A = this chain, B = another copy of it.
Amino acid sequence: MINATACGVIEAARRARRQIARVYAARHGILGALAEDLIDTSKDRASAIGRLREAPGSAFGSCRFKLRPFEQDRSQYDRLIEVFRAHDIGYFFYNGGNDSMDTALKVSQVSAAAGYPVACVGIPKTIDNDLPLTDSCPGFGSVAKYVATSIYEAGLDVASMYKTSTQVFVLEVMGRNAGWITAACGVAAQAPDDAPQILLFPEIPFDEPRFLARVKEVVERVGWCAIAASEGLRGTDGKLLLEGGLRDAFGHVQLGGVAPLLARRVSEGLKYKCHWAVADYLQRAARHLASRVDVDQAYRLGAAAVTLAIEGRNGVMPTIVRVADRPYRWKIDAAELKDVANREKKLPREYVSVDGFHITDRCRRYIAPLMQGEAFPRFRNGLPDYVQLRNAPVAKKLADFKI
């Protein structure tokens, strides 16, 4: 949904020409801002910008990059101010999760201190849905719709053939330490024996004997069992189930692989035939099955960020406020970045059933509205027709900067 938000920002800015002459996008997020690698979005027509609403990925590139701690080394912050000053940039919109909100806050503070005050507005975006003070985060509703649809469909497949083939199916979903996406799978189960019958949350320690007993019980009652498991599943010892596996360049455990591990335990422990799927980026990029509510919220938050900036607000983040569950109504408000940054909103215990294996009605009431409505992209020759922007570079004015 990062593109839908960009669309909201750019379209709102184009309507506010008196305050904002043009919108530059930093290529690959903060990296592009540091490298003075800027894109002039005014070179793209309104029709192309409009189509950002229906494009996955990030049209300008993104990054996973944390600025060095401000207290230890402010050269990166100083460089940002230098770039802003060189290009007469007065507003800084930064889209992302916890880390990004922290960056936006720091930039706001540094720019004020440097005598070149930039209005910094963070805009929430994370499929992990773990930002505080906003009822939901763009990206989550669409991933929720995709994973719930996927396990619903796969469950129908397993239900068709369990007599002579697969009896247990495991779908692994993302979300790191937060069980929001796992919980979303649970919305597909509209009756107790529907798929998925078992959810494994990162917040609930994985107890293998209890798990196997539950699988057995479900297979004996229903004939088959569909399980949604979080990539960030942890054992009763608090360690990630994938602790022993691949590590990335920073030494972090690389997530992905819980599903085959669980399938092996079920297959060896209970002798049921298992299949497993790991959706990985498919869930995050599945713009073909986006939630209309999610797209609308992403767009409106982008537009609201521009309004906040023009009103002179600084160090803030527009938020979604839920007005009612059924029918779902929401509005936009704003929170201070200092109250948002570096805080994580995990799945509350009362959203998980007492036995730890499913969601409660309260959780369902929270998640279901976020996946409402469809927003299919246009298709061409059988495939989604996602826009490619021109991404015209802005001429550099400064010397190179070593990141």
Contact = CB atoms under 8 A, between A and B. Distances in A.
Given A277-B278, A278-B278, A28 B163 contact: yes
B164 A383 contact: no
A187 B383 contact: yes
A275 interface: yes
Tell which of A281, A286, A368 has the most Cβ of chain B within 10 Å.
A281
Interface string A143-167: 0010011101110111111011110
Interface string A53-74: 0011110011111000000000
Contacts of A275: 256, 280-281
A156 B386 contact: yes
Interface stretch (A201-209, A311-319, A340-348, A369-377): A369-377
Contacts of A64: 161, 164-165
Contact of A280 (B187, B276, B382): B276
Contacts of A55: 156
A300 interface: no
A279 interface: yes
B383 A150 contact: no
A282 B164 contact: no
A257 B64 CA distance: 28
A260 interface: yes
SS of A interface (majority) = mixed
A379 interface: yes
A159 to B, nearest CB: 6
A188 B383 contact: yes
A287 interface: yes
A169 B281 CA distance: 9
Contact of A376 (B163, B188, B248, B374): B374
Contacts of A338: none
Interface in A47-104: 55-58, 61-65
A349 to B, nearest CB: 25
A161 B2 CA distance: 13
Contact of A157 (B56, B157, B249): B56
A382 B145 contact: yes
Contact of A61 (B161, B271, B276, B368): B161
Contacts of A165: 63-64
Contacts of A187: 382-383
A288 interface: yes
Tell which of A152, A187, A256, A382 has the most Cβ of chain B within 10 Å.
A382
Contact of A153 (B150, B158, B286): B286
A273 interface: yes
13 contacts: A64-B165, A150-B282, A150-B285, A153-B281, A156-B285, A169-B280, A187-B382, A246-B264, A256-B275, A260-B260, A289-B289, A372-B381, A372-B382
Given A63-B164, A154-B281, 13 more contacts: A57-B156, A58-B161, A63-B163, A152-B384, A153-B281, A153-B286, A157-B285, A166-B281, A246-B263, A260-B260, A278-B278, A291-B382, A371-B383
List 10 tightest A-B contacts by C-beta distance, closest first: A57-B156, A277-B280, A371-B382, A153-B285, A58-B160, A157-B285, A154-B281, A57-B160, A63-B164, A372-B382
